[in-house]
A = this chain, B = another copy of it.
Amino acid sequence: MTIGKNFISTQDWSKNELDELLQSASDIKKSPYNNSLKNKNLVMLFFNPSLRTRVSFEVAMNQLGGSAVSLNSGQDSWKLEHVEGAVMDHSTTEHIKDAARVLSRYADAIAIRCFPSMNSWEEDRKDLVMGSFAKYATVPVINMESSMHHPCQALADIMTVKEHAGNLKGKKLVLAWSNHPRQLPTAVPNSIALIASRFGMDTVIAHPKDYELDSDVMHAVEENCRANGSTFKVVNKLDDGLKGADFVYAKSWGSAKYYGRPDSEKSVRAKLRGWKITRQNMLLTKKARFMHCLPIRRNVEADDEVIDSSDSLVYEQAENRLHVQKALLNLLIGGGS
């Protein structure tokens, strides 16, 4: 019944649809090969680099009997315009309207990766490139990470959590801000907070002052928790967040206050080196599992001994990308369901 829908944010899908998708992912994990996407083509358009996403989507298509075409925008292809009605006498070469409609004639689905510009948060939070593709494409559009969301990562994460925790009621996930040499986007923290709260987990976000996430997203997380009867808390001390946690999800992101001004943020970050997951501070948790979406800055975001411990789920999260994306592709463009 979800055939033909886009997949831009997990919030757009009903809980039933997400459950169905995760069940399908579990089934596929046990039986990974079939021909359900025979003659189907996925076009992937990357405005930014990718390792896990690109490989896992290509392999997903191949193992289901279909094919994927990967394009790097601005390198393999052209620079795209997204402003409606633009007089295109400057640097952009093609309008997303045209690219989306043309690709819809060739492909059964279009997957897009488009990071924020990191110049203006007001601009970036509108997620215009992703939104334009979704608006103009006549086939399903899959978000491979936009300014605001990384729903495929969220699916893989919640699948991994479920594999280890079973019933999520009363289980506590802490999204722990971590240090990093660069200002990173907020799509992953947004997405993990949304999915954990959606699936009824007690959700905690620990971040330093001035590292608030987007208020609309926070309201949605709060609403998710309220609907599930679970708790939501934001704390400004890492230790407060870690106490009693079942899952510690480390992730760095840039401060909205210094958005687009990485140099100004540097001195702030220099004082935040304690925001790192260590064996020591993991002792505060309830023998929590460690999570991260990768790539991770080792010994900056978390210590080697945490990432490489038997409580680390990072490679399972990565592997589950493959399974959830196969399930997603089957639902969106498979022969029917």
Name the residue of chain B whose CB is nearest to the CB of A83.
B298
Q: Which of A38-83 contact B (CB under 8 A)?
A: 39, 41, 43, 46, 49-52, 54-56, 58-59, 62-63, 66-67, 69-72, 75-78, 81
Among B46, B55, B81, B105, contact of A107 (Cβ-Cβ < 8 Å): B55
Q: Is A109 in the interface zone, CB < 8 Å from B? A: no
The count of residues in chain A whose C-beta lies closer than 8 Å to any C-beta of chain B is 61
Among B95, B102, B181, B299, contact of A86 (Cβ-Cβ < 8 Å): B299
Q: Is A264 in the interface zone, CB < 8 Å from B? A: no
Q: Is A162 in the interface zone, CB < 8 Å from B? A: no
A83-101 vs B, CB cutoff 8 Å, 1 = contact: the mask equals 0011111100111011101
Q: Is A103 in the interface zone, CB < 8 Å from B? A: yes
Bound Cα distance A106, B323 (Å)? 10
Name the residue of chain B whose CB is nearest to the CB of A51.
B77
Contacting residues, chain B, for A75 (C-beta < 8 A) = 49, 72, 75
Bound Cα distance A97, B59 (Å)? 21
Which of A19-27, A169-177, A314-322 is near enough to bind chain B? Answer: A314-322
Contacting residues, chain B, for A90 (C-beta < 8 A) = 181
Q: Is A294 in the interface zone, CB < 8 Å from B? A: yes
Q: Is A296 in the interface zone, CB < 8 Å from B? A: yes
Question: Given A299-B88, A319-B105, do A51 and B69 touch, yes or no (CB 8 Å)?
Answer: no
Q: Is A304 in the interface zone, CB < 8 Å from B? A: yes
Contacting residues, chain B, for A299 (C-beta < 8 A) = 85-88
Q: Is A233 in the interface zone, CB < 8 Å from B? A: no
Q: Is A33 in the interface zone, CB < 8 Å from B? A: yes
Bound Cα distance A69, B70 (Å)? 10
Tell me if A294 and B55 are in contact (CB < 8 A). no
Question: Given A297-B88, A297-B89, A315-B105, do A54 and B72 touch, yes or no (CB 8 Å)?
Answer: no
Tell me if B55 and A106 are in contact (CB < 8 A). yes
Tell me if B77 and A49 are in contact (CB < 8 A). yes
Contacting residues, chain B, for A49 (C-beta < 8 A) = 75-78
Q: Is A166 in the interface zone, CB < 8 Å from B? A: no
Question: Given A49-B77, A87-B300, A295-B94, do A106 and B59 touch, yes or no (CB 8 Å)?
Answer: yes
Contacting residues, chain B, for A41 (C-beta < 8 A) = 58-59, 62-63
Name the residue of chain B whose CB is nearest to the CB of A95.
B298
Closest 3 CB pairs of A and B: A94-B295, A105-B319, A62-B67
Q: A51-B77, A90-B181 are in contact. List 9 more A-B contacts (CB 8 A).
A: A43-B55, A51-B99, A59-B69, A62-B66, A87-B298, A94-B295, A98-B314, A102-B319, A105-B319
Chain A residues with CB under 8 Å of chain B are: 32-33, 39, 41, 43, 46, 49-52, 54-56, 58-59, 62-63, 66-67, 69-72, 75-78, 81, 85-90, 93-95, 97-99, 101-103, 105-107, 181, 294-300, 304, 307, 314-315, 318-319, 322
